[in-house]
């Protein structure tokens, strides 16, 4: 096996790892968005999140990890579409923010 083949094989393995890790992070962000909306008594729209950012960052222990940003939409009445964001630092939740919304009584 020559060096070019080895390099291409390693590159393919790195791409496969990144793709699988991104799918896992997307599912984690979707679950967080659903849970936050459920806790806030609002409707999680479209049952999905959208990846909006990707960067290298350092976690609390100083290790380099990927910081991924996701956005989702929710509605308090069903007539509006408001935006929320989930930021993951590695596999941990760094922050969750939601646009201001009307707090309705639980039914």
* 106 domain residue, yes or no: no
* 72 domain residue, yes or no: yes
Least confident of 47-56, 69-78, 95-104: 95-104
- This prediction has a pTM of 0.87
Given the DSSP bridges, would you call strands 82-89 and 64-75 parallel, antiparallel or unpaired? antiparallel
For position 104, what pLDDT does the model report?
72
* 105 domain residue, yes or no: no
Task: Please state the domain count of the chain.
Answer: 1
* 27 domain residue, yes or no: yes
* 103 domain residue, yes or no: no
Average of per-residue pLDDT across 95-106? 87
Alpha-carbon distance 105 to 107, whole Å? 6
* 61 domain residue, yes or no: yes
Least confident of 5-14, 76-85, 97-106: 97-106
Q: What is the domain extent for residue 21?
A: 3-98
Residue among 79, 83, 86 at smallest CA distance from 33: 86
For position 107, what pLDDT does the model report?
63
pLDDT tens digits, one per residue of 31-58: 999 999 999 999 999 999 999 999 999 9
Assigned token pair, 107 = 């039914």
């Amino acid at each position: 096996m020559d060096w070019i083949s080895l390099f291409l094989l390693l590159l393919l393995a790195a791409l496969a790892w990144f793709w699988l890790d991104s799918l896992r992070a997307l599912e984690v962000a979707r679950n967080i968005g659903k849970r936050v909306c459920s806790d806030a008594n609002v409707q999680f729209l479209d049952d999905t999140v959208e990846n909006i950012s990707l960067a290298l960052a350092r976690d609390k222990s100083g290790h380099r990890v990927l910081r991924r940003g996701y956005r989702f939409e929710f509605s308090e009445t069903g007539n509006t579409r408001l935006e929320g964001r989930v930021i993951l630092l590695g596999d941990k939740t760094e922050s969750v923010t939601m646009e201001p919304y009307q707090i309705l009584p639980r039914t």
